[in-house]
Amino acid sequence: MIYTLPKGSYSEKAAKEFLKFLDGEYEIGYCNNIYEIFEKIDRSSLGVVPIENSIEGSVSLTLDLLLEFDVKILAEISLDIHHCLIGYDKEKIKIILSHPQALAQCRKYIKKHGWEVKAVESTIKAVELIEDERYGAIADRDVVKYYKHLKILDENIEDYKNNKTRFILIGYKKVKFKKEFKKYKTSIIFELKEDKPGALYHVLKEFAERGINLTRIESRPSKRRLGTYIFYIDYENGLEVLNSVKKHTTFIKVLGRYPVLVE
Ligand SMILES: O=C(O)C(=O)C[C@]1(C(=O)O)C=C[C@@H](O)C=C1
């Protein structure tokens, strides 16, 4: 089983892309939200969740759950995201519904129309909540295949071109792919040993000295005390740097070394 968000969501689209590369048969299991996906995954199943968007940045719930659960990142894929306005009649819309990430990616568009905004668990939940003409949802164009009573009222409504979301395949056991991939990444989470000048610099220096390219650095609150952070770093290729990074940290978690299937 491969768990993801409901049928018609962007995450389901990503799951179908992963399936093209995975060796083996997997059925798609649908969950209402990202938390449920992490909870459902067991030793024999997988999950697909969004992790980062080119307009809105990190999906912070995914980052937090990667720390909380012991799952590994097994692969990543990026998809072009083109949002549509879904509903009955654009002129009659008063309330716009969607996932917070999708709403944020269309902020200017929504503001221009002066609609009231309601955030829900997924783009599909938004579509399902369209009770009448007063409601509109932001979702993928393909949803009208499943919700035939609704129409695409506008297309490409994201505020910036080249809108992309990165999705990760997660699970507890290794998976096999049908082909070899050229690009690999490693993702780690750590907390700095000391809060002193240059503390983060010493970690970054370990990467710089080895000529290792960082592809992302992000921080999340430690949730213990205001102003204390957990760092998330993605870097290209090997694990060789880890022992040196460990010296500067109180804890370090390796989320995995995994292939980039589609950039
Ligand atoms: O609600 C969906 O359809 C999702 O798959 C979630 C999600 C996200 O959380 O980033 C996925 C891609 C888009 O960036 C917008 C929404």
| Type of residue at 71 | V
Q: How far is the CA of 243 from the centre of ligand 1 (A)?
A: 35
Residue 10 near ligand 1, beta carbon < 6 Å:
yes
| CA 250 to ligand 1 centroid distance, Å | 33
How many CA atoms does the CB half-sphere of 47 hold within 13 Å? Answer: 28
CB of 101 shorter than 6 A to ligand 1: yes
Is 82 in contact with 160 (CB distance < 8 Å)?
no
Domain ranges of the chain: 2-80+164-171, 84-154, 184-262
Alpha carbon of 155 to ligand 1 centroid (Å): 16
pLDDT at res. 63: 97
Supply the pLDDT for residue 197.
83
Alpha carbon distance 166, 168 (integer Å):
7
Whole-Å CA distances, 176 to 22, 28, 250: 6, 17, 33
62 lines ligand 1 (CB under 6 A): no
**Second-level CATH architecture of 184-262:** 2-Layer Sandwich (3.30)
- Selecting from 3.40.30.10, 3.40.50.300, 3.40.190.10, 3.40.50.970, what CATH number does the domain 2-80+164-171 have? 3.40.190.10
Separation of CA 200 and ligand 1 centre (Å): 31
**C-alpha separations of 204 from 31, 110, 189, 241, 254 in Å:** 38, 40, 13, 10, 16
| φ and ψ at residue 109, rounded to 5 degrees | -60, -45
Instruction: Look at residues 180, 258, 185, 182 and name the one whose alpha carbon lies nearest to residue 21.
Output: 180
Does the CB atom of residue 5 touch ligand 1 within 6 A?
yes
**Ligand 1 centroid distance, CA of 173 (Å):** 25
Can 2-80+164-171 and 84-154 be said to share one CATH topology?
Answer: yes
Q: Quick check: CB of 53 below 6 Å from ligand 1? A: yes
Query: Which ranges of the chain does DSSP label H, i.e. alpha helix?
Result: 10-21, 34-40, 60-68, 100-105, 107-113, 123-128, 143-146, 199-209, 242-246
- Tell the CATH superfamily of the 84-154 domain: Periplasmic binding protein-like II (3.40.190.10)
pLDDT for the residue numbered 239: 67
Give this complex's ipTM. 0.94
Mutate to test the pocket of ligand 1, among 99, 127, 163 (most ligand atoms within 8 A of CB): 99
Q: How far away, in angstroms, is 60 Cα from ligand 1 center? A: 12
Q: How far is CA 174 from CA 65, 177, 256, in A?
A: 19, 10, 10
**What's the number of CA atoms in the CB half-sphere (13 Å) around residue 254?**
14
Whether the CB-CB separation of 221 and 32 falls below 8 Å is answered with no
Distances 25 to 16, 46, 146, 178, 217 between C-alpha atoms, Å: 12, 12, 24, 12, 35
Substitution candidate for ligand 1 out of 54, 83, 86, 123 with most atoms within 8 A of CB: 123
Q: What is the pLDDT along the chain (263 residues), one digit of tens a residue?
A: 999 999 999 999 999 999 999 999 999 999 999 999 999 999 999 999 999 999 999 999 999 999 999 999 999 999 999 999 999 999 999 999 999 999 999 999 999 999 999 999 999 999 999 999 999 999 999 999 999 999 999 999 999 989 999 999 999 999 999 999 999 999 999 999 877 888 899 999 999 999 999 999 999 999 988 988 999 999 997 668 999 999 999 999 999 999 999 98
